[in-house]
Amino acid sequence: MAWYPFNYCNRGGIPKIEVNTVTVSDNNVALTLPNNTFRFLASSGIILLRLNQPIPTGTTATLPVVLSVNEFTQALTNIGGTPITVAELPGAGVYVVYYDKDANLMQLLTSIIA
């Protein structure tokens, strides 16, 4: 097992990151990633975000979705910069996300539902 908190899906290619837990609060839905997830990644790129469990049924569809790692949260946005809501994550599956560490940017590009 590698000491990185992610796996590459193809040789030297796009890292796949597993969502550890989904936490619903009054303010948002937090998708928690493994500790140090972004430490070994380049300053920007594409990741495959695997959501193994759906957001719980009955969660308010207008709640924004955030990614949480090492007690830091970052809003997940669309390409226009609008926060992604629960209604825009159709369920468990793989999501393609663009990240930019310098700009504090996490953009949902598309989804591949399992």
Q: Which residues pair with 105 in a beta bridge?
A: 100
| pLDDT of 2 higher than 60 | no
Phi-psi bin for 79: left (phi > 0), alpha (psi -120 to 50), beta? alpha
Distance CA 30, CA 82 (A): 17
- With residue 44 as reference, give the H or E element that holds it: strand 44-51
31-77: pLDDT as tens digits: 999 999 888 888 888 999 999 999 999 999 999 999 999 989 999 99
